[in-house]
Amino acid sequence: MGSIGYLLDTHTLLWAVSESYKLGVAGKQVMAENEDVYVSAISAYEVTNKHRIGKLHGYEKIAENYLEILAAFGAKELSITSQHTDLAGKLNWQHRDPFDRILAAQAIIEKFMLISNDSVFASLPQINTLW
């Protein structure tokens, strides 16, 4: 699949770590065969925040041990920069979810393929997704 970077949507990370049947075959293959797989720092906030407010049922162990599990998973962490947040705020996109807006901006700026099954990203022509 070349030397492209891959950014995992938060649900993709959760499903990969939990070895869920929901994980797409192409995404699973990319994660197994590539070293340039990234997890956004925003995913830590999304997982732990949603767990705290009771919206992340079934993933409590991951939320409670996020940093250790991420380290064992082996993906690289993608920090959030002002360039990412600036674009996230400026994107001409009706989607209001701040986590998705950050992921979208990171994928665009870093030129990463986003591994996600969320169809909301299809309305952004600047993003290539894989599932």
Half-sphere exposure of 58 (CA within 13 A, CB side): 7
Q: What is the pLDDT of residue 3?
A: 54
Determine the length of the chain: 131
Q: How many helices (H) and strands (E) does the chain have?
A: 7, 5
Please give the average per-residue pLDDT across 56-66, as a whole number: 94
Tell me if 1 is assigned to some domain. Answer: no
Contact 100, 118 (CB under 8 A): yes
In a domain, residue 102? The reply is yes
* Domain enclosing residue 43, as ranges: 6-130
Classify residue 42: in a domain, yes or no.
yes
Residue 46 has pLDDT above 50, yes or no: yes
- pTM of the shown model: 0.93
Give the CA angle between residues 6, 10, 70 to the nearest 5°: 80
**Domain tally for the chain?**
1
pLDDT tens digits, one per residue of 93-119: 999 999 999 999 999 999 999 999 999
What pLDDT score does 13 carry? 96
| CATH number of the structural domain spanning residue 41 | 3.40.50.1010
